[in-house]
């Protein structure tokens, strides 16, 4: 990974901050990341749906930048 590229942990943290400002929540289902309103249930999240935001190969439990 490049020194200029944030790790997935940091990228996900930024996604969560932005989503919170918009009144949405972030859900990770496997390696897929979804940004959706609180009333949307997990079973309604699909990779080809409107809430899919990103795919992350691995999300660590701490920053590895």
Strands of 32-36's sheet in order across: 25-29, 32-36, 52-55
* Per-residue confidence (pLDDT) for residue 5, from 0 to 100: 87
* Per-residue confidence (pLDDT) for residue 7, from 0 to 100: 93
Residue among 30, 26, 56, 48 nearest 64 (CA): 56
Q: Is the pTM of this model over 0.95?
A: no
On whether the CB atoms of residues 28 and 59 are closer than 8 A, the answer is: yes
* Per-residue confidence (pLDDT) for residue 1, from 0 to 100: 59
Q: Residue 49, Cβ neighbours under 10 Å: how many?
A: 11
pLDDT tens-digit map of 29-48: 989 999 999 999 988 898 88
pLDDT band at 26 (very low <50, low <70, confident <90, very high): very high
* Per-residue confidence (pLDDT) for residue 47, from 0 to 100: 87
> What does the block give as tokens for 16?
């969560």
Sorted by where each begins, the domain ranges of the chain are 8-55
The 8-class DSSP code of residue 29 comes to: E
């Amino acid at each position: 990974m490049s020194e200029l590229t944030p790790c997935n942990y940091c990228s996900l943290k930024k996604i969560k901050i932005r989503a919170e400002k918009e009144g949405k929540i972030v859900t990770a289902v496997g390696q897929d990341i979804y940004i959706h309103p609180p009333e949307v249930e997990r079973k309604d999240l699909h990779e080809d749906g409107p809430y899919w935001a990103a795919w992350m190969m691995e999300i660590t439990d701490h920053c590895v930048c």
